[in-house]
Chains A and B, each alone.
Chain A
Amino acid sequence: MTDDAAVLENQRLEIRLLLEAIYHKSGYDFRGYASAHIKRRLDHVRARNSIPSFCEMIHRLIYDAGFFDEILQALSINVTEMFRDPEFYRAVREFVVPHLKTYPFIKVWHAGCAAGQEVYSMGILLDEEGMRERAQIYATDINPQVLEEARRGIYPLEAVRQYTSNYQKSGGIASFADYYTAGYESVAIAADLKKNVLFSPHNLVTDGIFGEMNVIFCRNVLIYFGDELQDKVIKLFLDSLCNGGFLCLGSKESLRFSAHADAFEVVDAREKIYRKRAVRVPTVQGEP
């Protein structure tokens, strides 16, 4: 083993201990996250604060209340756009919405909703399909700061050109400008689109199921999890979906490597839309 390889081993140990400390101090459990990702993010925080080692971050974490928040912000990645991946929204209109229309009332869960762009995109889509009045939408995220941004629904004006182009490519049937009010430097999402949306904190790693969802969106969240944690969260989604409910992942995520792959059928392999297979409840013969 070269000296540098030995350093690497020791660093891995330090990171394991730091993640334990974060868990015991805050209750946030990052121990099952993808380790290459975790190391890069923690190293950013370490370098920015001129802390010599991961181990020395443990002391700071325990005694400095603001430091955990800095770590939480660094570990939460919230890059997205409205109607990001227009072809995905087109596929939702084509393959998912017709099924939803057969229900009198639907429940939708955006797991890891970040600053809300996906929530409002789906809100617009459901509105245009005449479904929004019949939908209860749950939007959750681990990070209280971005959840507050999602609630506000205010986005920079310079992002709107891209949002508009995405919306048009996604098969939108109205004018995107109908859905926001423009200010000097930002736009505010129409208040109407916030009706029926419940924003709340939820941690996919440590919190429980959301019952009987018709659709779950969890796009570009699982990529930050290690394979075992991914499996655990996919099981959580499986248990939160009604029979025939849909699971929508990010375009580069897949159920292919999951232990629960067989519990879903593939609706659109390219856009990563899956559907929970019906589970028959076994009836026990001879019992009252």
Chain B
Amino acid sequence: MRAVAIGASAGGLDAIGRVLEALPADYPAAVLVVQHIAPHANDTLARRFQRHCRLPVQEAEDKHPLLPGIVFIAPADFHLMVEPELRLSLSREERVNYSRPSIDVLMETAAEAFCSALTGVILTGASIDGAAGLAAIKRLGGRAVVQSPETAEVDIMPRAAIAACTVDAVLGLDEIGAFLARLGYEEPC
């Protein structure tokens, strides 16, 4: 199974929506999303993204088996991780880069579980979260995609990610959607 891990912060609601919109209904990869959000926010994110997406979008529940074609959203105030046996797990350990959920935590654990079958995507945000995670994905043979800083609502997070590793593609939102849609049908490695 392939997987895609997407991280966004400030400006992410629209950006993630645009990317998810491009994924076809029979998409064969698992999709994991961290959007930075206030700790007491309720579970409206999944419902919001569902409006843009042909795939089922769910708030991640602990120990849910990872399945292709489902979009899992990190719940507010929990880190989202991937266990080596390809189940989701949640944690309330301390914030990373001032964030819980943190993009680094998702990407570092997903990279170890999926190795080269993982693609990481960093979108708009005023944070450095995700840079170390994307570098971990590259180290373990996965692919790295970053939203082009010129097109990002806030360019700090994309710039930090580009500086942290050799990324495979720097693209606008619509191109990212198309890139991910294509990638899902490649032979898993």
**CA A36 to CA B91, docked complex, whole Å:** 10
Determine the residue in chain A with the shortest Cβ distance to B59: A252
Determine the residue in chain B with the shortest Cβ distance to A75: B93
Chain B nearest Cβ from A252, distance in angstroms: 5
Q: Which residues of A contact B65 (CB under 8 A)?
A: 257
- B92 adjacent to A220 (CB under 8 Å): yes
**A35 with B91, Cβ < 8 A, contacts A4-B141, A227-B63, A254-B62 known:** no
- A36 adjacent to B109 (CB under 8 Å): yes
B91: which of A5, A77, A254, A256 is its contact (CB, 8 Å)?
A77
Chain A nearest Cβ from B97, distance in angstroms: 14
Contact with A along B95-116 (1 / 0, CB 8 A): 0000000000100010011011
Q: Which residues of B contact A5 (CB under 8 A)?
A: 115, 140-141
- B62 adjacent to A226 (CB under 8 Å): no
Of A35, A36, A257, which is in contact with the most chain B CB atoms at under 10 Å from its CB?
A36
Residue count of chain A within 8 Å CB distance of chain B: 28
Is residue B84 contacting chain A, with contact meaning CB distance below 8 A?
yes
Q: Which residues of A contact B139 (CB under 8 A)?
A: 4
Is residue B81 contacting chain A, with contact meaning CB distance below 8 A?
yes
Is residue B78 contacting chain A, with contact meaning CB distance below 8 A?
yes
- B64 adjacent to A257 (CB under 8 Å): yes
**A227 with B87, Cβ < 8 A, contacts A41-B93, A252-B61 known:** yes
Q: Which residues of B contact A250 (CB under 8 A)?
A: 62
Determine the residue in chain B with the shortest Cβ distance to A257: B63
**CA A4 to CA B85, docked complex, whole Å:** 19
Determine the residue in chain A with the shortest Cβ distance to B96: A40
Is residue B125 contacting chain A, with contact meaning CB distance below 8 A?
no
Q: Which residues of B contact A257 (CB under 8 A)?
A: 63-65
Q: Which residues of B contact A227 (CB under 8 A)?
A: 63, 85, 87
Chain A nearest Cβ from B103, distance in angstroms: 14
A4: which of B63, B87, B109, B140 is its contact (CB, 8 Å)?
B140
- A35 adjacent to B84 (CB under 8 Å): yes
- A36 adjacent to B92 (CB under 8 Å): no
15 sample A-B contacts, Cβ–Cβ < 8 Å, listed by A number: A5-B115, A34-B89, A35-B83, A36-B89, A37-B93, A220-B92, A223-B78, A223-B91, A227-B63, A227-B85, A227-B87, A230-B63, A252-B59, A252-B61, A253-B61
Q: Which residues on B are within 8 Å of A, measured CB to CB?
A: 59-65, 75, 78, 81-85, 87, 89-94, 105, 109, 112-113, 115-116, 139-141
Question: 15 more A-B contacts (CB under 8 A) besides A36-B82, A220-B92, A254-B62?
Answer: A12-B84, A34-B81, A35-B83, A35-B84, A36-B81, A37-B81, A40-B105, A77-B92, A230-B63, A251-B75, A252-B78, A252-B90, A254-B61, A256-B61, A257-B63
